[in-house]
């Protein structure tokens, strides 16, 4: 089966929904850095953001391959799933490591969309990619923990009710391993703002609702700790494979958007009395972008299959995210070049998608860190850090 053919009914339904949110909708939001509330609401009501939540908690209980199809089709249609993709997978930490009480309390409302869990707080200004050096600290005080510290680039906090937050509960120096001593909390943002949590928006080159967070003696009930104290890093890592596979499928969707737009434009734009796509100098880069996209799609397909079979897939998830984000970027560059000057105008949506797709070589993990993982864990070379 081609990588474009699985879950045809989901593909068709997502494409139909997205057709109600054309380029002009996104351009207006982009101009004013406004969150796509109506789009996210429509996806929520249609049940597309709860496909991975088990049926017993009110979701559709579908495999990750189905989630991939949803996000791929969103991107392929020119929309931006970055506004809400985390609602699909952030709940995985709660699902895998939360206790029954927490799952029964939160998952049904996350599934029906009345509770938004789409903020995920890991990155800090001083630690960067070196997560074990995070400094945000939670200290036990009776039935609560008191949190102090700072996070940066935490997306969608202004459009989320809950946040999965990684903090240190034991200083790094006192731990056997640097990755010990971190814990995960489910923070209720609605209670926290004004009571120890301050959220400041960060303006970036895309409309991504990302923010900086300051924690000043924020009290969080111990009942909101997910899993055991000190094991948080492992819980976060467990969720990363799903995140990478899903984001890789968004990149495949972006790449398909660019390849389809570029080939259509190359057929219709006439210069020197013939379509520009008749020149091999124009058609070969588009054909190459298509080949790279299909290779990436196969890698995403394979990683999703391993994930759904419950097999180890850390390297496959990382590798497919790297190849997919690069194929999307090459397709974006090729599409911009194919459109000539018109690619730079806002009305064709190429420049917007070009900016948006660049993110995935940096977040949620940058390409160098993936190469380092592959070098060490697949090829047995010494770790550099
Ligand atoms: C728009 C946006 C949204 C984001 N949303 C979230 C979010 O919701 N939640 C969240 O927790 N984070 C979020 N992030 C943060 C994102 O995950 C990080 O930016 C990313 O992981 C890279 O970390 P850094 O920016 O600290 O880069 P740094 O760690 O400072 O690295 C800078 C560069 O140096 C390279 N580098 C660093 N160390 C090495 C090494 N040892 N070897 C080779 N190269 C190295 C990196 O690959 C990178 O290219 C977001 C970021 C952006 C831009």
| Statement to judge: residues 127 and 147 lie in one domain | yes
Please check whether residue 1 lies inside any domain of the structure: no
Cis, peptide link before residue 348, omega less than 30° from 0? no
| Among 198, 230, 262, residue at a domain's last position | 230
Question: Are 307 and 350 part of one and the same domain?
Answer: yes
Torsion on CA atoms 127, 133, 139, 144, rounded to nearest 10: 70
> How much is the CA Rg of the chain, to the nearest whole Å?
21
Instruction: List phi, psi (to 5°) of 379.
Output: -110, 0
Best CA proximity match to 117, nearest among 184, 54, 162, 59: 162
Q: Is 13 in the pocket of ligand 1 (CB under 6 A)?
A: no
Question: What Å distances lie between residue 313 and 65, 244, 245, 318, 324, CA to CA?
Answer: 14, 11, 10, 8, 16
Query: Given this model, what pLDDT does residue 373 score?
Result: 97
- Same domain? For 281 and 321 the reply is yes
The CA 112 to ligand 1 mean position distance, Å, reads 32
Residues 280 and 358 in one domain: yes
What distance in Å separates the CA atoms of residue 62 and residue 68, rounded to the nearest whole number?
11
Please check whether residues 242 and 343 belong to one and the same domain. Answer: yes
pLDDT at res. 132: 96
Residue 4 pLDDT: 87
CATH number for 196: 2.40.110.10
The boundaries of the domain holding residue 218 are 117-230
Q: Is residue 2 part of a domain?
A: no
Return the number of other C-beta atoms located less than 10 Å from residue 263's C-beta: 19
pLDDT in tens, the chain (385 residues): 788 889 999 999 999 999 999 999 999 999 999 999 999 999 999 999 999 999 999 999 999 999 999 999 999 999 999 999 999 999 999 999 999 999 999 999 999 999 999 999 999 999 989 999 999 999 999 999 999 999 999 999 999 999 999 999 999 999 999 999 999 999 999 999 999 999 999 999 999 999 999 999 999 999 999 999 999 999 999 899 999 999 999 999 999 999 999 999 999 999 999 999 999 999 999 999 999 999 999 999 999 999 999 999 999 999 999 999 999 999 999 999 999 999 999 999 999 999 999 999 999 999 999 999 999 999 999 999 9
The closest residue, in CA terms, to atom 35 on ligand 1 is 368
The protein residue with its alpha carbon nearest to ligand 1, atom 30, reads: 128
- Domain presence at residue 155: yes
Q: Is 383 exposed, middle or buried (0-12, 13-18, 19+ CB in 10 A)?
A: exposed
Task: Choose among 152, 98, 79, 80: nearest CA to 120.
Answer: 152
Q: Which residue has the tokens 């909101």?
A: 224
Q: Which of 230, 249, 276 is a domain's end point? A: 230
Query: Is residue 160 domain-shared with residue 215, that is, in the same domain?
Result: yes
Residues 208 and 308 in one domain: no
3-class DSSP state of 160: coil
Which residues face 225 on adjacent strands?
Answer: 185
Asked whether residue 132 is domain-assigned, the answer is yes
> How many angstroms is it from 363 CA to the middle of ligand 1?
6
Mutating to test ligand 1, I would choose from 133, 150, 362, 372 the residue with most ligand atoms within 8 A of its C-beta, which is: 362
Same domain, yes or no: 156 and 137? yes
The reported pTM is: 0.97
> Does the residue 385 lie in any domain?
no
Instruction: Report the CATH number that the domain containing residue 99 is assigned in CATH.
Output: 1.10.540.10
Catalytic residue among 72, 243, 250, 356: 243
Asked if residue 311 and residue 372 are part of one domain, the reply reads yes
**Which pLDDT does position 26 carry in this prediction?**
98
What angle separates helix 350-358 from helix 232-268, to the nearest 10 degrees?
Answer: 150
pLDDT digits (tens, 9 = 90+) for 11-56: 999 999 999 999 999 999 999 999 999 999 999 999 999 999 999 9
Residue 86: its pLDDT value, please? 95
183 and 68 housed in the same domain? no
Output the pLDDT for position 225: 98
**What is the per-residue pLDDT for 238?**
87
In a domain, 383, yes or no: no
Q: CA 42 from chain center: how many Å? A: 19
pLDDT in tens, 99-115: 999 999 999 999 999 99
Task: Please confirm, yes or no, whether 243 is among the known catalytic residues.
Answer: yes
- CA 110 – CA 116 distance, rounded (Å): 6
The whole-number pLDDT of residue 2 equals 81
| Same domain for 124 and 219 | yes
The dihedral formed by the CA atoms of 314, 315, 318 and 322, expressed in degrees to the nearest 10: -170
Last residue of a domain, one of 80, 97, 112: 112
DSSP 377: I
Phi, psi of 137 (to 5 degrees): -125, 140
- Count of domains observed in the chain: 3
Residue with the nearest Cα to atom 38 of ligand 1? Answer: 129
Are 206 and 91 in a shared domain? no
CATH number of the domain that residue 354 is part of: 1.20.140.10
Do β-strands 117-121 and 162-168 pair in parallel, antiparallel, or remain unpaired?
A: parallel
């Amino acid at each position: 089966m081609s990588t474009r053919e699985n879950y045809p009914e989901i593909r068709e339904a997502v494409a139909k929904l997205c057709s109600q949110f054309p380029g002009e909708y996104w351009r207006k939001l982009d101009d004013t850095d406004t969150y796509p509330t109506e789009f996210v609401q429509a996806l929520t009501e249609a049940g597309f953001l709860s496909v991975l939540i088990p049926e017993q908690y009110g979701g559709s209980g579908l495999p990750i391959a189905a989630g991939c199809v949803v996000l791929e089709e969103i991107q392929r249609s020119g929309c931006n799933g970055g506004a809400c993709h985390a609602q699909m997978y952030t709940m995985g930490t709660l699902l895998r490591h939360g206790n029954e009480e927490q799952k029964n309390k939160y998952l049904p409302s996350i599934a029906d969309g009345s509770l938004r869990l789409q903020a995920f707080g890991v990155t800090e200004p001083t630690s960067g990619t070196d997560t074990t050096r995070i400094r945000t600290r939670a200290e036990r005080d009776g039935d609560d923990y008191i949190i102090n510290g700072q996070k940066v680039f935490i997306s969608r906090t202004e459009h989320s009710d809950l946040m999965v937050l990684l903090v240190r509960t034991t200083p790094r120096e006192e731990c056997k391993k640097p990755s010990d001593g971190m814990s995960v909390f489910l923070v209720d943002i609605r209670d926290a703002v004004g009571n120890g949590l301050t959220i400041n928006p960060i303006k970036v080159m895309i409309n991504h609702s990302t923010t900086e967070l300051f924690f000043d003696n924020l009290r969080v009930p111990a009942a909101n700790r997910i899993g055991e104290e000190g094991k948080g890093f492992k819980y976060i890592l467990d969720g990363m494979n799903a995140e990478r596979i899903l984001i890789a499928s968004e990149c495949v969707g972006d790449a398909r958007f660019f390849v389809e737009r570029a080939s259509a434009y190359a057929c219709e734009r006439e210069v020197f009395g013939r379509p520009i796509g008749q020149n091999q100098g124009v058609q070969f880069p588009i054909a190459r972008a298509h080949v790279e996209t299909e290779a990436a799609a196969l890698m995403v397909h394979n990683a999703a299959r391993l994930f759904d079979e419950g097999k180890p897939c850390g390297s496959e998830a990382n590798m497919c995210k790297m190849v997919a984000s690069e194929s999307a970027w090459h397709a974006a560059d090729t599409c911009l070049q194919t459109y000539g000057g018109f690619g730079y105008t806002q009305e064709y949506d190429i420049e917007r998608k070009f900016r948006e797709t660049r993110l995935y070589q940096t977040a949620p993990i940058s390409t160098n860190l993936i190469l380092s993982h592959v070098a060490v864990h697949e090829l047995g070379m010494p770790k550099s850090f």
